[in-house]
Amino acid sequence: MLVTARIPSDNYAASRLLSFYATNGHLPLALSLFSLTPSPNSFFFNTLIRASSSSASSAFALYSRMLRSAVSPGKHTFPFLLKASANLGSPSLSKQIHDHVIKYGLELDRYVTNGLTHSYACSGMVVDARKVFDGTTERNSMIWTTMVSGYARNGLADEAIGLFEEMVGLGVELCGATMASVLSACARSGGLETGRRVHGIVKEKGVEVGVILGTALVDMYAKNGAIFEAREVFVGMPERNVATWNAMICGLAHHGHSEGAVCLFRELERLVKSTREVCPNDITFTGILTACCHAGWVELGREIFFSMQESYGVEPKVEHYGCMVDLLGRSGRLEEAEELVRGMKWEADIVVWGALLTACRSFGRIEIAERVVQEMLRLDPENHSVYVVLSNMYAEVGRWEDVTRFRGIMKDDGFKKIPGWSSVDGHG
């Protein structure tokens, strides 16, 4: 379908047509019509900025053109411009837009202030987000939720929970998004009792437990080790997405319930085969490989690791290789672990090599440890603590000449070991 030079003669008809294209996923057609409009008004610009908000560069290019065309932005312009800024996570852009909001006298508009709070929070500028929030005279549930979410997003769990408590005390209406945000904070902070209280409010107010809220509940309970409660919520959910499955599988794995994690993973596999609606992703495999590590299930771990790409098209990442090195290393299969690391598509990082070095120390495999230390020093020449590990391994087998040689190297480099600590294996 092509847009020709023949467009509606009046702006009203043209704007209706442009809006239809933009809101129905035909942005190129909307832009073509826009380019042929001789005097686009604010509605044209606002509609296109809204449709382009997922692409910050496009949204800001349109805004710049809007200003050059002497078309004044308004309360329908900034919320979507701020959404584009939030997607980009740029502190400087958030500041610039805020200046424009003040210039055009819109700093008290509830939708604009909500957008500013969100944009600042997504840019890591939580203090600025809070200033906007505090300066808002009429706070609705939306901006409270945005601020709670902003704290949670930036790892400020105590602040998120504290603001939620203030919401409850003031009788602010609580919605599913508010609950999900504070539950995310409870998952990060170990706030199990607060999380249980939130769940109680959900039940009391009859808030619908959809996928997002249900997943937040499962994640909160699972990360806090309340596996029975996590499982209870999980089983009771009418609909689940991959994040829900991941929250439950990873929770089981990290708290030592390896058998439960594997059983749930097999259940997910059966679901994939029957519906293809939910497929495991990289987080799923990190969780299940962690479960195999904790249980020492080498063959099962190998089977799952190699099925990632073959069966599900999920390319292993560094963390998956790290799990496999840990699993193989704990079982003494160090040659296989080294071969796996050297066969990685990406260069192994210091953490992966460190896991292999720890295994070498556990099994006294000096010949492999020497090669691993070379790789670690190539990546981080200042990581002298690897000399300590290798020197200790030499001492354990009575290779005192090598111990003396390494101590000489450390002395020449001015290295002093911090008593009781090794940055490689975390032990004294």
- Whether residue 4 is predicted with pLDDT greater than 50 in this model: the reply is no
Asked if residue 58 and residue 171 are part of one domain, the reply reads no
Report yes or no on whether pTM surpasses 0.85: no
Q: Residues 2, 131: one domain?
A: yes
For residue 43, give both structure tokens: 């509605």
Same domain as 160, residue 58 = no
Q: What is the reported pLDDT for 422?
A: 37
Count other C-beta atoms under 10 Å from residue 280's C-beta: 24
Answer with the residue of higher pLDDT: 54 or 291.
291
Contact predicate 323/286, CB 8 Å: yes
- The domain that holds 176 is classified in CATH as 1.25.40
End-to-end CA distance of the chain: 70
- Residue 10 DSSP label: S
- Same structural domain, 68 and 145: no
The burial class, CB within 10 Å (0-12 / 13-18 / 19+), for 333 is middle
Q: Is the pLDDT of residue 243 over 90?
A: yes
Positive or negative, the Cα torsion across 151, 153, 156, 161? positive
Residue found by looking up tokens 């450390």 in the block: 410
pLDDT bracket for residue 411 (50, 70, 90): low
Contact status, residue 76 vs residue 113, Cβ threshold 8 Å: no
Q: What is the CATH number of the domain that holds 120?
A: 1.25.40.10
Same-domain check for residues 206 and 247? no
Q: Has residue 250 been placed in a domain?
A: yes
Q: What is the pLDDT of residue 427?
A: 37
Token pair for residue 324? 């496999």
Name the band, by pLDDT with cuts 50, 70 and 90, for residue 121. very high
In a domain, 361, yes or no: yes
Specify the pLDDT at position 229: 97
83 in a structural domain: yes
Q: Which of 23-37, 38-52, 196-210, 395-409 has the lowest mean pLDDT?
A: 23-37
Give yes or no for a contact between 81 and 97, defined as CB atoms under 8 angstroms apart: yes
pLDDT average, residue stretch 130-151: 91
Among residues 86, 105, 135, which one ends one of the domains? 135
pLDDT at 6 (0 to 100): 47
Looking at per-residue confidence, does 5 or 414 come out higher? 414
How many angstroms separate the CA atoms of 271 and 275, rounded?
Answer: 6
pLDDT of residue 425: 39
- Tell me: do 128 and 103 sit in the same domain: yes
Rounded Cα distance, 47 and 28, in Å: 13
Residues 264 and 289 in one domain: yes
pLDDT at 417 over 50: no
What's the gap between Cα 426 and its chain centre?
26
* Closest-CA residue to 382 (of 353, 348, 423, 420): 423
CA distance 58 to 49: 8
If one counts the domains in the chain, the total is: 4
Taking the C-alpha atoms of residue 359 and residue 325, their distance in angstroms, rounded to an integer, is 9
- pLDDT tens by residue, 353-406: 999 999 999 898 999 999 999 999 899 888 878 888 888 888 888 888 877 887
According to the model, what pLDDT value does residue 5 have? Answer: 41
Question: What's the mean per-residue pLDDT of the chain?
Answer: 86
Among 147-151, 172-176, 321-325, 370-374, name the one with the lowest average pLDDT: 172-176
Report the chain's C-alpha Rg in angstroms. Answer: 28
For residue 357 the two structure tokens come to 């070095």
**DSSP H helices in 40-123:** 42-51, 56-68, 78-88, 91-103, 110-122
Domain contains 111:
yes
* Reported confidence tier of residue 239, pLDDT bands at 50, 70, 90: very high
Distances in Å between the Cα of 368 and the Cα atoms of 65, 334, 349, 361, 400 are: 62, 8, 17, 10, 19
Of 381, 383, 380, 409, nearest to 394 by C-alpha is 409
327 pLDDT more than 80: yes
Mean pLDDT of 235-262: 95
pLDDT digits over 267-303, tens only? 999 998 887 778 999 999 999 999 999 999 999 999 9
Question: Once rounded to an integer, what is the mean pLDDT over residues 114-128?
Answer: 93
| Percent of all residues in the chain with a pLDDT value above 70, rounded to a whole number | 92
Residue 341 has pLDDT above 50, yes or no: yes
Q: 322 lies in a domain?
A: no
When pLDDT is cut at 50, 70 and 90, the band that residue 412 belongs to is low
Position with higher pLDDT, 141 vs 427? 141
Q: Three-state SS for 296?
A: coil
| Domain of 405, in residue numbers | 329-428
Q: Rounded mean pLDDT of 7-29?
A: 70
Say which amino acid occupies 84.
A
Looking at residue 415, what is its pLDDT? 53
Instruction: Kindly state whether residues 282 and 393 are assigned to the same domain.
Output: no
Q: Which residue has the higher pLDDT, 64 or 24?
A: 64
